[in-house]
Amino acid sequence: MEFYRNNNYGQLGNSYFYIFSEPIEIKNLKDPISISAGYDFSLILEADLSVWGFGNGCYGQLGNGNFEDSNLPIKILNLYNPISISGGGYFSLAISGYKSKIYNEIYAKK
């Protein structure tokens, strides 16, 4: 999977924080099947049903339990068989195939 352009919060997931004018590969993702982006952050759903987030995390939208940015993909835990993901402004959503639950990764800002 390749990304390019603005990267001030690490939303390209390549361990850097600067702009890329050409596509760059994110090497540690194995088999991405879906992608979504919010305001300065990105989400990836892989074929093994793992979900990864990276970029701006100031409202907890990366789903890893904190409010920090990440310039590398971070696995979102506690999702059960996600079948769809979506990034909004400062929030993330996932639809689970397990009992059709919807997970909302909105956290109050510290």
**Mean pLDDT for the chain overall:** 76
Helix runs in 28-85, H state only:
none
Rounded Cα–Cα distance for residues 3 and 12 (Å): 6
Q: Is 13 exposed, middle or buried (0-12, 13-18, 19+ CB in 10 A)?
A: buried
pLDDT of residue 12: 54
Mean pLDDT, range 12-21, rounded to an integer: 57
18-68: pLDDT as tens digits: 565 666 677 678 898 998 988 888 899 999 999 998 888 888 888 888 898
pLDDT of residue 4: 42
Judge if pTM exceeds 0.85.
Answer: no
**Which of 8-12, 13-17, 27-31, 48-52 shows the highest mean pLDDT?**
48-52
